[in-house]
Structure 1
Amino acid sequence: MFDRLTSYLDSIHARDPAPHSRWEILLYPGVWALGLHRVAHWLYDAKLFLLARMVNHFSRFLTAIDIHPGATIGRNFFIDHGFTVIGETARIGDNVTIYQCVTLGGTNPTNGKKGKRHPTLCDNVIIGSGAQIIGPITVGERARVGANAVVTDDVPEGATMIGLKARSTLVPADQWLREFIPYGTPCDDPCEPNRDGIEKLEAELAALRAEVAALRDAQSDGVHPKRSGTGH
């Protein structure tokens, strides 16, 4: 057991140059959160759900990291700093690194049944600070997710994901009339960008650039540019 703990602390030191000793790493909130999660997960598997929740709430109070007791986590998991949320059906492989303010969030099952609704992170994945990984998707082995990225689709092995994918969507009336939609994201809600809107904005941007270029050419030639419309 001591050798496993030493190996775990050394794996953190290999990813974080800040600590000066293993004793310092033992004070990390991510280390405490993972240790308490191991206890909570054992209670959860034993169907002692209330006790598991009590350990979970104590851990969240102590570390500002909320890991649901049902989440499955592999070896050498490292949360650098806190304010991270990991959902019940999340699956995390070995040697995964997560930075602060990350959410492994879920989507609402349209059939009302629990099921798999949180992400799966394969081995050696790195998640940047503020990233939101939403839904029952898989982030492939050695993949990287940049800071503040929003990921709602499967990530190929070794890929690097950056940027936002959020968009405005019209909610059907039958769903809008419902008082509450858990997580605010039904599973069957498409998460693709609005291509028509993007193409329109790109066309407007191109027209503005052409107009600015024409104005610059006119000024450089010493000619006053003509204005559209009539005036007196």
Structure 2
Amino acid sequence: MQLLLAEDDPILANGLTAQLNAAGFTVEHAPNGPVAEFLLARQDFDIAILDLGLPMIDGLTVLKKLRATKPNLPVVVLTALDRLDSRVAGLNAGADDYMTKPFDFPELEARLRAVLRRARKDPASGGVAEAGVHVDRAARRAVIHGEAVELSPREATLLELLLIHADKVVTKEQIAAAWAGDGTEVGAGNTAEVHIHRLRRKLEGSGMEIRTVRGLGYLLAVERPDGRSA
């Protein structure tokens, strides 16, 4: 996932970059508004974190200009301005979410994932879709080339996570975070390995393959139209 971090505090930016890299994002840092605009105009990002208090060109102006050229790019606003009018201004300018400083990184990561999930949703069916596979977590099922496949709650969450990060490694820590708070007890039948094994069987013939990346996690390889897969 390519992420733009527009933040003028160097200590915060360095810390966030390290944490985001560990979470699987590739980060480009912009210390001010002009650099943010330059990077946004010349690179394709999957998501952006934008501080409203950027020097030279403030973040709200950057956001308004961005929405004129890239209306669908997910943006999470990060700012010390916690007044209601500031939050409203950020959301009205086109922010997908809004967080105030100070904050906890796990919450920021969770919000980034949620925004990315919404951005990847299939508008026709209300779920995440990729290469002939559509997963509807709420309905606990996947549709694979037109055929419905029933999923457990954890299988649905796991498949959605793998689809969002298709062709990229998903760590066991990311899986645990996605499962956190679902009320299911961890046990021998609820490990990532067990659910990966079940999903592999259910994805047979779909053009997708869940690969184990030893020591790192799992990767959903998607077969491309030319027959190749990543």
TM-score, normalised on structure 2? 0.26
Q: Which has the larger radius of gyration?
A: 1
Larger strand proportion, structure 1 or 2? Answer: 2
Structure showing greater relative contact order (alpha-carbon pairs closer than 8 Å, 6 or more residues apart): 2
| TM-score of the two chains, using structure 1 as the length reference | 0.26
Greater share of helix? 2
